[in-house]
Structure 1
Amino acid sequence: MRIGVLDVGSNSAHLKIVDLAEGRPPRTVATLKHPTRLAEAIDPDGTIGEEAVCRLVGAVGQAACTAALHGVDELVAFATSAVRDATDRDEILARVADRTGVELGFLTGGQEATLTFHAVRAWYGWSARRLLVMDIGGGSLEIAAGDGREPDVALSLPLGAGRLTRKHLPGDPPDPERVRRLRRHVRRKLAATAGPFAGDLDGRAPGTLPVATSRVLTQLAVLGGAPKPRKGPYERRVLHRSRLRAQIDDLAGMTAAERAELRGISAPRARQILAGAIVAEATMTALHVKRLEVCPWALREGIIMHRWQMMADPAARERAPLPASPRPRSHLHAVPMVSEAHA
């Protein structure tokens, strides 16, 4: 079975196409990444700007074409918080479906946290007895923990790096007082939401492996000296809380352009990397975590593992259904990437 997983996030749309066969590991056939930059285009009223919607339509159209060219049997297409929380979400979904033939679905924050946990469990296996997983996206922070295949706790908080940058750090560089207020805001939100689960989320619990996923946390680890992504997924990467604390002050005094010159920091995430660092440091402190292992698998791989599991256990679909789009129509080969921008 060949499936494609299309993840439309706050910064980019990622497509991963894999072959699944019972008893064999997933085999990657093709990947595609296209920028959307939705996080920076959300207006004060919660709508997404026209240019960003055009980029979104183009990215989904390109992904659908690629999926069709590779003969996928199923395309799982979903959007995370940037589109899910937009006030004009329904109009955006209708436009994407009309132009590309792809119907974007949604996952709840809890589902995102759970599926990311599945991916991390699959990567580390049972040698990691208990996992504590953190994922910082553009719109939300996901935390999950447990010692089984399913997490005991799966939380989603509105503490994404893009969301916080847009609401709390408008300057370039930001005003120092705004940075201080954001740090207090993040600590309060963590205490209110994650506090009741303190026992389940304690990184000091015996046998716990604290793990980071997401580009934000990976780039912060590289900034702190971890191997760059081009070294491959099997290189060990660790994010240290002590180094992160020192980095926050440095990042706060830089412009986005200056941050983009730093080791490991990409230009698309340079503006929001400060907020990501603030969330990472505050979360690690709240959960008593000194270091995080960086896992190369995350939400997309969690969905792939879910589909792989369904091949052996079809009842899994009923227990945890996921959004799926119909197979891309053949006419999608003709969808031009610039058609929406010039319509």
Structure 2
Amino acid sequence: MRHRRLALIDMGTNTFHLLIVELPEPSHQQPVTLLRTKVGVRLGEGGISKGEIAPAAFERALHTLVGFKEEIELHQVTEVRATATSAMRVTRNGPALAQAIFEQTGIQVEVIPGEREAELIAKGVRRAVPLGTQPHLLMDIGGGSVEFIIADATTIFWKQSFEIGAQRLLDKFFPDPSGVFPPEALAAEQDYLTTVLAPLAAAVQQYRPVGIVGASGSFDSLADMQLGRLRTEAELPPSTVLALSSFRASYQQLLSLPHEQRVALPGILPMRADMLVVASVLIDLVLKMTGVTNMQTSAYALKEGLLAEMLEQ
């Protein structure tokens, strides 16, 4: 009989991910990863703050999905799940992009709400990091939205999605990222985030998380900077401990260097060099808010959560 092969596509505001796995028989064994790849599509670039997907980004998205479709056919996939998040959730032409993708590839895109996104991220993170019985703060900084979840290994205590992703913060506070992040922009971003994240501050007071787990690209980049080199998708372990001292050093570098020198830092993907500045301001604020000193990354997020959910069923 043919094996069940799943393709899971996560269409984020910055990055599109494709994960292809084979489900073994009997089903209690672990799925086998056949392909794990990502493409920096920058779907939110030049438009998300105006509520639309820019024409160039629209084209990049279509082109990427056509490429994913080739991989899916090559790997003889039997089932495809594609989810889209913030950029397609809030833009006027998000539905048109979903329609164009369906017409060109036959892939049906499911645009999911922020609450559902947070739930799936928690499921994904739990596959990478043993959370145990104490509450942890899980965070996923996307290009369009940021999800915060307070959870342990079995329970989600609180979750919320905020439309304050790195592309939005970049548009708002650092529209010309060629130079150094101006001190007044830093102060403005900190003030803005403090106001917007009041619900998170209240939840942190209530549940007192003991650690932070960061999923997604910004955290991967910070872990790569700590290592001093860029790791490929295949090299990433499920989780990496991010030393506070390393984060502080990276944060200072990011704040003090212009774009040219940020891009040249070891471990940085050029596409992330600017977003990482505004994302690190957010991480720094959350560290202060929680008083937490241990932080780790999770290489697993939404698509692994989707996989976990499908395996449960």
TM-score if structure 1 supplies the norm length? 0.81
* Partner of residue 132, structure 1: 137
Greater Cα offset, 212-221 or 192-201: 192-201
* Partner of residue 185, structure 1: 192
* Partner of residue 114, structure 2: 109
Question: Equivalences for 1:45-124 in 2 at 5 Å?
Answer: 45-124=50-129
Once residues 189 and 270 of structure 1 are traced to their aligned partners in structure 2, the CA distance between those partners, rounded to angstroms, is 24
What is the count of residue pairs matched by the alignment? Answer: 305
Residue 229 of structure 1 aligns to a residue whose secondary structure is coil
CA contact (8 A) 1:135 1:212 kept: yes
CA contact (8 A) 1:114 1:150 kept: no
Distance verdict in 2 for CA 1:200–1:23, change over 3 Å = farther
Distance verdict in 2 for CA 1:141–1:304, change over 3 Å = same
Deviations 1:21-73 (CA, angstroms, capped at 9, x unpaired): 31111210123323312222316532111111111011111112211221222
The gaps in structure 1 that reach 5 residues or longer are 311-343
Question: Structure 1: which amino acid aligns with 2:194?
Answer: R
* Partner of residue 213, structure 2: 211
Distance verdict in 2 for CA 1:45–1:122, change over 3 Å = closer
Question: Structure 2: which amino acid aligns with 1:34?
Answer: V
Question: Structure 1: which amino acid aligns with 2:213?
Answer: V
Once residues 272 and 57 of structure 1 are traced to their aligned partners in structure 2, the CA distance between those partners, rounded to angstroms, is 23
Greater Cα offset, 67-76 or 241-250: 241-250
Greater Cα offset, 137-146 or 28-37: 28-37
CA contact (8 A) 1:256 1:270 kept: yes
Once residues 212 and 203 of structure 2 are traced to their aligned partners in structure 1, the CA distance between those partners, rounded to angstroms, is 16
2:251 counterpart of 1:248: yes
Residue 218 of structure 2 aligns to a residue whose secondary structure is helix
CA contact (8 A) 1:38 1:48 kept: yes
2:280 counterpart of 1:273: no
How much has 1:240 moved relative to structure 2? 3.6
* Partner of residue 290, structure 2: 287
CA contact (8 A) 1:109 1:156 kept: yes
Question: Structure 2: which amino acid aligns with 1:213?
Answer: A
* Partner of residue 237, structure 1: 240
Question: Structure 2: which amino acid aligns with 1:211?
Answer: V
CA contact (8 A) 2:143 2:166 kept: yes
Question: Structure 2: which amino acid aligns with 1:184?
Answer: D
Residue 36 of structure 2 aligns to a residue whose secondary structure is strand
How much has 1:258 moved relative to structure 2? 1.7
Question: Structure 2: which amino acid aligns with 1:30?
Answer: L
2:199 counterpart of 1:196: no
Question: Structure 1: which amino acid aligns with 2:78?
Answer: D
The gaps in structure 2 that reach 5 residues or longer are none
Greater Cα offset, 49-58 or 152-161: 152-161
Deviations 1:183-212 (CA, angstroms, capped at 9, x unpaired): 22112222x221331345423xxxx44312
How much has 1:176 moved relative to structure 2? 2.6
Question: Structure 2: which amino acid aligns with 1:178?
Answer: A
Question: Structure 1: which amino acid aligns with 2:87?
Answer: A
CA contact (8 A) 1:152 1:200 kept: no
How much has 1:308 moved relative to structure 2? 0.7
Question: Structure 2: which amino acid aligns with 1:195?
Answer: A
Once residues 48 and 83 of structure 2 are traced to their aligned partners in structure 1, the CA distance between those partners, rounded to angstroms, is 22
* Partner of residue 313, structure 1: none
Deviations 1:112-148 (CA, angstroms, capped at 9, x unpaired): 2211111222233465654321111111211112234
* Partner of residue 175, structure 1: 182
Question: Structure 2: which amino acid aligns with 1:217?
Answer: F
Distance verdict in 2 for CA 1:235–1:97, change over 3 Å = closer
Greater Cα offset, 133-142 or 29-38: 29-38
Once residues 159 and 201 of structure 1 are traced to their aligned partners in structure 2, the CA distance between those partners, rounded to angstroms, is 23
Larger relative contact order (Cα-Cα within 8 Å, sequence gap ≥ 6) = 1
CA contact (8 A) 1:116 1:298 kept: yes
TM-score if structure 2 supplies the norm length? 0.88
How much has 1:233 moved relative to structure 2? 3.5
CA contact (8 A) 1:32 1:63 kept: no
Residue 156 of structure 2 aligns to a residue whose secondary structure is coil
RMSD: 2.3
2:18 counterpart of 1:15: yes
